Structure 1
Amino acid sequence: MRFQLTEEQLTWQQEIREFLREIITPELLQEAEVNQGKTQVR
């Protein structure tokens, strides 16, 4: 059984991606990386 994305699903994914991009600001990404770095140091 082959999995095929319909045009509707593709636009939906794109909208979600853009939506997330608006929420996840560079500041949040930087903070997440810093927290990840702290975890790795331990």
Structure 2
Amino acid sequence: MTSTPVPVEAGKHGGPPSDKPWTPPQEPKPSPDGSRPQFMQQS
């Protein structure tokens, strides 16, 4: 039972790097886009 939770956490951190990296990049993209408009309006 202890071995099951370990692989799950390890897989998310370094197991499926192909599926993980694709999701994080999508979130960071929207952040910069929203920040740019704000800076332009202030300027």
Q: What TM-score comes out, normalization by structure 2 length? A: 0.42
Q: Point out the structure with max Rg over C-alpha.
A: 2
TM-score by length of 1: 0.43
Greater helix proportion:
1
Bigger RCO of structures 1 and 2 (CA < 8 A, at least 6 apart): 2
